[in-house]
Amino acid sequence: MGTSNCGHEIAMSSPSAGEAGMTRDWRTERPDLAPELCLAVRQGKEACQLCWVYCPDVCVARGVPPVLDLTYCKGCGICAEVCPTDAIRMVPDDRGPSLPEVVRS
Amino acid sequence: MSATDSVVITGNEAAAIAVRLAGVQVVAAYPITPQSPVVETLSKWVDSGELRAELVRVESEHSALTVCIAAATVGARVFTATSANGLAYMNEQIWWAGGARLPVVMACVNRALAAPWNVLNDQQDSMSVRDAGWVQIYCRDNQEILDSLVQAYAIAERVQLPVMVCYDGFLLSHTSMPVSVPAAEAVQAFLPRRPPLPIVDLDRPRNIGQVTFADPRADAAGQLCHGYMELRALHQEALEGALEVIPQVGEAFGAQFGREGGGLVWSHLLEGAEVAFVAAGSVGSELTVAAEILRAEGVRAGVLGLRAYRPFPAQAVREALAGKDLVVVVDKAMSYGYEGPICSDVRAALLGSASPPAVFGTVTGLGGREVDTRQLVEAAQRALGDFRAGVRVRRADWINLKLREPA
Amino acid sequence: MVEPCGTAALRVLRRGNVGAGQIPSVEEKVESSVKPAISEPAPQMFEIRWHGRGGQGAVTAAKILADAAFRSGFAGVASAPSFGSERRGAPITASTRLSSAPVRLHSQVSEPDIVIVLDDTLLGVANAARGLRPGGVLIVNTARPASALEVPGNVRVVTADVSAAAQAAGLVVAGAPMVNTAILGTFAAATGLVSMERLRDAIAASFPGPAAKKNYEAAVIAHDATRA
Counts of helices then strands in chain C (DSSP H, E):
6, 8
- How much is the pLDDT for A100? 46
Q: What is the pTM of this model?
A: 0.88
pLDDT, one tens digit per residue, over B131-146 is 999 999 999 999 999 9
pLDDT for res B197: 65
- A86 CA: distance to closest CA in chain B (Å): 32
**Residue C109, CA atoms < 13 Å, CB-side half-sphere:** 32
Distance (Å, rounded) from C-alpha B403 to C-alpha B170?
24
- Give pLDDT, residue B196: 65
ipTM for the complex shown: 0.89
The pLDDT of B202-231, averaged and rounded, is 89
Cα(C20)–Cα(C11) distance, integer angstroms: 24
pLDDT at C220: 97
Quote the minimal CA–CA distance from B303 to chain C in Å. Answer: 12
Is B172:B141 a contact under the CB 8 Å cutoff?
A: yes
Number of CB pairs, chain B paired with chain C, less than 8 A apart: 110
8 Å CB contact between B107 and B70: no
Question: In Å, how far is B311's CA from the nearest CA of chain C?
Answer: 23
Confidence of residue B369 (pLDDT cuts 50, 70, 90): very high
Q: What percentage of chain B carries pLDDT values higher than 90?
A: 89
CA quadruple A36, A37, A43, A45: dihedral positive or negative? negative
Whole-angstrom Cα distance, residue B166 to residue B144? 10
pLDDT of residue C3: 32
**Res C59 pLDDT > 80:** yes
> Which residue of chain B is at minimal alpha-carbon distance from A7?
B225
Contacts of B247 (CB under 8 A, 6+ apart): B263, B264
Please indicate whether chains A and C are in contact, defined as at least 3 beta carbon pairs under 8 Å. no
User: Does the structural domain B6-190 have CATH classification 3.40.50.970?
Assistant: yes
Give contacts of B1 with chain C, Cβ < 8 Å. 75
CB B29 within 8 A of CB B82: yes
Task: Tell me what pLDDT residue A6 has.
Answer: 87
Residue C186 in this model has a pLDDT that exceeds 60: yes
State which residue of chain A sits closest to B199, comparing Cα positions. Answer: A12
Is 90 exceeded by the pLDDT of residue C215?
Answer: yes
> Residues near B337 by Cβ (< 8 Å), separated by ≥ 6?
none
Q: What is the pLDDT of residue A101?
A: 41
Query: Residue A2: is its pLDDT beyond 90?
Result: no
Considering only CB atoms, B288 lies closest to which of C34, C67, C104, namely C104
For the segment(s) C45-224, the CATH number from 1.10.1060.10, 3.40.50.2300, 3.40.920.10, 3.30.70.1230 is: 3.40.920.10
Residue of C nearest to B142 (CA): C78
Whether A21 contacts chain B with CB within 8 A: no
Q: What is the mean pLDDT of residues C21-28?
A: 32
Q: Where are the domains of chain C?
A: 45-224
> Which of B175, B269, B370 comes nearest C80 by C-beta?
B175
Least confident of B57-61, B101-105, C21-25, C108-112: C21-25
**Cβ of A9 and B101 within 8 Å?**
yes
Residue A15, pLDDT > 50, answer yes
Domain boundaries, chain A: 22-92
The answer to whether residue B25 scores a pLDDT higher than 90 is: yes
**Mean pLDDT for all residues in chain B:** 95
User: Residue A9: which pLDDT band, with cuts at 50, 70 and 90?
Assistant: confident
pLDDT band (50, 70, 90) for residue A97 = very low
pLDDT at site A17: 84
User: Within an 8 Å CB–CB cutoff, is residue A15 touching chain B?
Assistant: yes
Of C9, C62, C84, Cβ closest to residue B289? C9
C78 prior amide bond cis, ω within 30: no
Q: Where does chain B hold its CATH 3.40.50.970 domain(s)?
A: 6-190
HSE-up (13 A, CA, CB side) for residue B253:
25
Mean pLDDT of C58-82: 95
Question: What CATH number does the domain located at B265-398 have?
Answer: 3.40.50.920
What is the third-level CATH fold of A22-92? Alpha-Beta Plaits (3.30.70)
Nearest to C215 by CA among C177, C160, C175: C177
Considering only the beta carbons, identify the residue of B7, B178, B289 that sits closest to C8. Answer: B289
- Sign for the CA dihedral angle at B243, B246, B248, B251 comes to negative
Query: Taking all residues of chain C, what is their mean pLDDT, rounded to a whole number?
Result: 81
pLDDT confidence of C34, banded at 50, 70, 90?
very low
A72 pLDDT higher than 90:
yes
Chain B residues whose C-beta sits inside 8 Å of any chain A C-beta:
99-101, 160, 197, 199, 204-210, 212, 216, 219-221, 223-227, 230-231, 234, 238
Question: What does the pLDDT read at residue B219?
Answer: 83
For residue A2, what is the nearest residue in chain B, using CA coordinates? Answer: B224
Is residue A22 very low, low, confident or very high in pLDDT (cuts 50, 70, 90)? confident
Mutate to test the interface with B, among A1, A4, A5, A13 (most CBs of B within 10 A): A13
In which band, very low, low, confident or very high, does the pLDDT at A95 lie, cut at 50, 70 and 90?
Answer: low
Strands in B181-321 per DSSP E: 207-208, 217-218, 224-225, 265-268, 275-279, 301-306, 308-310
B4, pLDDT greater than 50: no
Q: Yes or no: say if B281 and B140 are a contact pair by the CB < 8 Å rule.
A: yes
- Over the stretch B188-204, which tens digit does the pLDDT of each residue have? 999 997 766 666 777 88
Asked whether residue A105 carries a pLDDT value surpassing 50, the answer given is no
User: Are A8 and B210 in contact (CB < 8 Å)?
Assistant: no
User: Where is average pLDDT lowest: B155-159, B369-373, C32-36?
Assistant: C32-36
Range(s) for CATH 3.40.50.920 in chain B?
Answer: 265-398
**Window from A84-88, B246-250, B274-278, C39-43 with minimum mean pLDDT:** C39-43
- pLDDT tens digits, residue range A42-67? 999 999 999 999 999 999 999 999 99
Chain C residues whose CB is inside 8 A of the B121 CB are: 83
Residues of chain B with pLDDT > 70: what percent? Answer: 97
Report the pLDDT averaged over residues B55-60. 97
User: Does A15 or A97 have the greater pLDDT score?
Assistant: A15
Provide, rounded to the nearest whole percent, the portion of chain C with pLDDT above 90. 61
Q: Are C67 and C202 in contact (CB under 8 A)?
A: yes
User: Which among A4, A9, A13 has CB closest to B219?
Assistant: A13
* Residues in chain C whose Cβ is within 8 Å of chain B: 1-2, 4-9, 33-37, 62-63, 66-67, 70-71, 73, 75-81, 83-85, 102-108, 205
